[in-house]
Amino acid sequence: MSELSPSNPQSEGGTESVQSSRGQRPEEHLLYDRLVDAIIDKTLRPGQHLNEVKLAATYSVPRSRVRRVLERLRDEAVVEIELNRGAFISRPTIAEARDVFEARKNLEMIIVRLACERATPADIARLRDHLLAERDVFDNLRPEMNRIAGDFHVLLAETAGNAVLARMLTLLMRRVCLIQSLYEKRSGVLCLVDEHEKLVDLIAANDPEGAAKEALHHCLHIESSLDLTERRRAEIDIYELP
């Protein structure tokens, strides 16, 4: 579970840093963030068991707190809790995958239209700065590729200026990551930076219909990279069993 190990307090300012972290970011929030990051980075795979005892020991918290985090993730549809078996990373069905992508396509088209209306020069600059970082992580195949690519869509939602849409998209993107982790074809890294750049150009040009069309194309491109078949879902070697 090294990918979920807490940061070393001594490297972040010693006791003062630990006290500050506990005051502003309780252990439950830290564990939640680490689990979400691991799901997005695909170090936690669909079907993988989440051991309450190990998580409690790793974060020095009672199992009741770990359980609350797992229940929160269950409510967000990224964890399944089975009676007498424990918690597992969700394995979306084909029907769920199609529903998620249908929701994402429609949501993203709304978001980019609003972004065209509301984006300021500072928003465009922030998006372009993010694209530079995104290009770097994909060119160098860094492990945080999926997280950085997902952050781009969250930035778009923030640019749209609607907190509810931003929250909806954030939760939806986590389920997209699970779907990709389970169903993606084994044909190498899917790099979509060029499409992200085109989206920003269309938003900067205040072209809502062009941006919506490109957002739809982008989502369809991702969906086409998936093997949404029962055969694929039945394979067990695409995630690590406990």
**Nearest alpha carbon to residue 179 among 49, 46, 77:** 46
- pLDDT tens, position by position, 95-121: 999 999 999 999 999 999 999 999 999
Helix or strand or coil: residue 206? Answer: coil
Q: Is the pLDDT of residue 81 over 80?
A: yes
Q: Is the pLDDT of residue 239 over 70?
A: no
Instruction: Specify the pTM.
Output: 0.82
Beta bridge partners of 50: 87
**Which CATH class for the 2-7+16-89 domain?**
mainly alpha
For 164, other C-beta atoms within 10 Å of its C-beta total: 8
**Which CATH class for the 94-231 domain?**
mainly alpha
pLDDT band per the 50, 70, 90 thresholds, residue 236: low
- pLDDT tens, position by position, 24-48: 347 888 999 999 999 998 889 999 9
Q: Is residue 148 within 8 Å of 136, Cβ to Cβ?
A: no
Residue 143 class from Cβ within 10 Å (0-12 exposed, 13-18 middle, 19+ buried)? exposed
- pLDDT tens, position by position, 142-151: 888 889 999 9
Segment 213-232 shows an average pLDDT of 94
DSSP label of 162: -
Domains 2-7+16-89 and 94-231 alike in fold: no
Structure-token match 């491109």, residue found:
221
In the chain, domain spans: 2-7+16-89, 94-231
Sign of torsion over alpha carbons 26, 32, 36, 39: positive
